[in-house]
Amino acid sequence: MLTVEDLQEGDVVYARADLYNDGGIAELEEGALLAPAGARGVIVRKGHLEEEPGRSVFLVRFEDGARELGPPLGCWAEELRADAAVVQ
C-alpha cells in the first residue's frame, strides 16, 4: 500500500480533513479554510524542519473549486492521504 511518505515532488495527494489557516498565511484570516477534506493537491516540495529531522513536511498546492492551484501550504504527513478516500 502506498503511503504519503512514499510520495515525491509532483505526486498527487488529498487533504485528509479540512485544513485551516493557523496564522501562517498572513494575507488570510486565521481560521480560514485553506483546503476542504478530499481536496486534491500536488506536492511541490518535501523536506523536514531542522527541529524535527525525522518528521516529513510537505509543501502542497491544493486545487480550488475552479481547479486552479492555490498557494503552497505546509502540511504534515498525517494531514494528507495518498488516495482520494476521505477519513474524518
What domain range includes position 47? 4-81
Examine the pLDDT at 88 and tell me if it is beyond 50: no
- CA neighbor of 44 nearest in space, from 17, 19, 80: 80
What's the pTM?
0.86
CATH number of the structural domain spanning residue 52: 2.30.30
pLDDT of res. 14: 96
Instruction: Answer yes or no: is 42 within a domain.
Output: yes
Instruction: Answer yes or no: is 25 within a domain.
Output: yes
Region 73-88: mean pLDDT is 82
Instruction: Answer yes or no: is 87 within a domain.
Output: no
Q: Based on the structure, what is the number of domains in the chain?
A: 1
**Would you place residue 31 in the very low, low, confident or very high pLDDT band (cuts 50, 70, 90)?**
very high
Helix (H, G, I), strand (E, B) or coil at 20: strand
Instruction: Answer yes or no: is 86 within a domain.
Output: no
Instruction: Answer yes or no: is 21 within a domain.
Output: yes
pLDDT of res. 41: 97
| Residue carrying the nine cell digits 485544513 | 19
Instruction: Answer yes or no: is 23 within a domain.
Output: yes
Examine the pLDDT at 24 and tell me if it is beyond 90: no
How do residues 35-55 score in pLDDT, each as one tens digit? 999 999 999 999 988 888 888
